[in-house]
Structure 1
Amino acid sequence: MREILFRGKSTETNQWIYGGFHIWEKRQTCFGDDKLKDDEISYVITVNSFADWNMPRTMQAVEVIADTVGQYTGLADVNGQKIFEGDIVKSQNYRFVVRFGKCGSNKFVNYNNGYIGFYLEPDGKTNAHGLRNDICYFGNLSVIGNIYDNPELLEE
């Protein structure tokens, strides 16, 4: 079974938080045109809090920046580092951004029989025309950054 794990950058500390993902609606909507405003929705990563002396652990919810949330692909790079959606990976002379969504079956990294899944998107500088660009094929990927902390890697 694939490990389900998310990451996102904390709105307070700008540090990466790893755990479960939840969209928290701060109130319930009523009938009619009542819609939640942006400030009434929080995106949180839930993590286990510290517990000692066999006491039950509590869950801690850390609010994260919505655009930075990405899911773990279930795969690791050549150094054992987990590969997440939004990571920039390199194989030989090629660079790709790990994405999630619907694409051609030749780009799938993982699961769902060719409809929706993780895939590699050429970084814009990589000439990958006609290249079979899935993680299973390359096998020797290394994470060199991500699109949030290292956008300059896509411009090189």
Structure 2
Amino acid sequence: MRENEFRGKHIHAINVNKHLNGTWVYGYLSADNYINSSVYIGEIMVAPETVGRYTCKCDISGQEVFEGDIIESHIGGQVLANNLVIRYGVYQAYCPIDKCFMDSVGFYASGRNLPDMPIGRLEEYAKVIGNIIDNPELVNW
């Protein structure tokens, strides 16, 4: 498991990296817009709005899931009508014991007309179908 891994889309800054323009880069975040990549050996400039952290989870097909990924939920063998976006931050989680919502911090799934919910065991119900940068049309809300 690679904790604290991020991804971001490379933006062209110097000619030596021109061939990477628009490529997803994976590694450790060394600044708001730089990812230290072991593949490209060094810091690669990325567009800050594309940066997303690794959830340390995989979907039902074994694909790694990152913040900003769009998933289909295959609960009970059926696909939900709404696609969900994986997010990270503060969200309102429902506490069934106290029967109230309370602040929680971490990865959660967000969807139209659905409460934000913790992501749980993605490998049991989720399939990554794209991400909000490359496939914004998949977010049907």
How would you bin the TM-score normalised by the shorter chain? 0.7 to 0.9
Question: Greater CA radius of gyration, 1 or 2?
Answer: 1
| Structure-1 residue corresponding to 2:55 | 73
- In the alignment, the residues of structure 1 paired with residue 39 and residue 61 of structure 2 have an alpha-carbon distance, to the nearest angstrom, of 28
TM-score, normalised to structure 2's length?
A: 0.73
Higher relative contact order (CA 8 A, sep 6+): 2
- In the alignment, the residues of structure 1 paired with residue 121 and residue 50 of structure 2 have an alpha-carbon distance, to the nearest angstrom, of 27
What RMSD over aligned residues (CA atoms) do the two structures have, in Å? 2.5
Kept in 1, the 8 Å contact 2:93–2:117? The answer is no
Shift of 1:88: 0.3
1:97 to 53, 77, 85: 85
Structure 2, unmatched stretches of 5+, are: 13-20, 74-78, 96-102
| Structure-2 residue corresponding to 1:26 | none
Spell out structure 1 runs of 4+ moving beyond 4 A: none
TM-score, normalised to structure 1's length?
A: 0.67
Kept in 1, the 8 Å contact 2:93–2:118? The answer is no
| Structure-1 residue corresponding to 2:106 | 117
Aligned length: 119
Structure 1, unmatched stretches of 5+, are: 24-41, 51-58, 108-113
Task: Map 1:1-156 to 2 at 5 A.
Answer: 3-12=3-12, 13-23=21-31, 43-48=33-38, 59-91=41-73, 92-93=79-80, 94-106=82-94, 115-122=104-111, 124=112, 127-128=113-114, 133-136=117-120, 139-155=124-140
Identical-pair percentage: 37
